[in-house]
Amino acid sequence: MIIQKSSNPRISSFDPTSFSFGNTFIDHMIICEYNNGKWGDLQLVPYGPIGFTPAMMGVNYGQACFEGMKAYKDKDGKVFLFRPEKNAERINKSAKRLAIPEIPKEIFMEGLKTLVDIDRDWIPHGEGMSLYIRPLLFATEEALKARVSEKYLFAIVATPAKSYYAAPVSVKISDHYSRSANGGVGFAKAAGNYAASFYPTQLAIEEGYDQIIWTDDSTHEYFEESGTMNVFVRINDTIYTPKTSEKILDGVTRDSFLQLAKRRNLEVVVGDVKVSDVIAAQRNETLKEVWGVGTAVVTSIFEALGYNDEHLLLPKLSEEESFAAMLKKDLTDIQTNQAEDPFGWRVLVEEQVYDL
């Protein structure tokens, strides 16, 4: 690996008690270029702009995908990643669907661990605090030709993170717009998936909601995802969540929640979640909780559902009563090294001495 450390690091001016998530970037980033049919040298360089033209194929034809993951710091200053191999696998699953060359796992993992190690001082410690990490792949060839690009860039950037969506949110059940369709790229973390979601979300916000629960494209009878999250429903004491498919992202947090629920011997049903069943449960007061899960938010508990022209309130449960809150604590305790890790999910980032 080629390491070029910043000559003007900003860490001394970073205030972990006051920063903007998503706009505050650590001192370095990882880059690796693909050209002439192969990946080149992995590089750690100072964070900053990279020169491109408006003719870059990733901008024009949408060959771009990414991942979302986090690093955590415990009370002793040790740094951990959470299930990074899942992100390495999934970025290549996305890349394959978008005809992007897959990034070798060893390049992904070496770049990830080196960046987190060198910029470990940027990782805030405390409840809800972490370093949000964004690996991404995109086409960089300068050509206005509707074909597969011949040049790509793998990069990793990161931003300190704190809790958001901390308060319960209201979500609208979509009866027109869909996030994805059969045969599409819904299972991939393709950049275009998010662009297509923004307009319907804006419409929902104008109606007083915070997010959307996406439904299937053909009938709008089944839950799929919520915003950028996987969705869970609790009716009585049974947890339901849609099965993953070519339309639904195989979320790392979703999979972790399922395993933690089974470890607690909670009843979990993975399969079709009918809108009509959820609405009926709300009306007969057996619907206890609906929540979303994802890397950035971990858990977002919903306080109301918008259905047709109705605003349907959900029960206000205490943390002791809430399965969502209980499973979130189980997960974050593992991530932050406050509990045993029976699954082997937590990966220690060893401090290294680099030959610069």
Long-range contacts formed by 252-259: CB under 8 A, 24+ apart: 252/69, 252/82, 252/83, 252/86, 252/87, 252/90, 252/295, 253/293, 253/294, 253/295, 253/298, 253/331, 254/230, 254/293, 255/86, 256/83, 256/331, 256/345, 257/232, 257/293, 257/327, 257/331, 259/343
pTM: 0.95
pLDDT value, residue 114? 98
* CATH topology (fold) of 2-162: D-amino Acid Aminotransferase; Chain A, domain 1 (3.30.470)
Same fold flag, 2-162 and 169-335: no
CA-CA distance, 124 to 121, in Å (whole number)? 8
Residue 353: what pLDDT?
A: 87
Mean pLDDT (whole number) for 53-57: 97
- pLDDT at 166 (0 to 100): 65
pLDDT tens figures, 277-290: 999 999 999 999 99
CATH number of 169-335: 3.20.10.10
Residue 324: the pLDDT is 97
Instruction: Quote the pLDDT of residue 356.
Output: 67
What are the DSSP calls for 245-285, one per residue? BTTB---HHHHHHHHHHHHTT-EEEES--BHHHHHHHHHTT
Residue 20: per-residue pLDDT: 87
pLDDT category of residue 53 using cuts at 50, 70 and 90: very high
> What's the pLDDT at 168?
87
* Residues 9-50: tens digit of each pLDDT: 999 999 988 888 899 999 999 999 999 999 999 999 999 999
pLDDT score of 118 more than 70: yes
As a whole number, mean pLDDT of residues 116-124 equals: 97
- Does residue 75 register a pLDDT over 80? yes
Mean pLDDT of 189-217: 96
- Per-domain residue ranges of the chain: 2-162, 169-335
Helical (H) or strand (E) element with 220: none
Average pLDDT over residues 163-184: 88
pLDDT in tens, 124-156: 999 899 999 999 999 999 999 999 999 999 999
Say what the pLDDT of residue 17 is.
87
294-349 residue pLDDT tens: 998 899 999 999 999 999 999 999 999 999 999 999 999 999 999 999 999 999 99
How confident is the model at residue 162, as a pLDDT?
87
**164, pLDDT greater than 70:** no
- Give the model's pLDDT for residue 271: 97
In the predicted structure, residue 157 carries a pLDDT above the cut 80: yes
Q: Do the Cβ atoms of 167 and 183 come closer than 8 Å?
A: no
What is the per-residue pLDDT for 163?
74
Report the C-alpha gap between 235 and 237 in whole angstroms: 6
**The predicted structure's pLDDT at residue 165:** 55
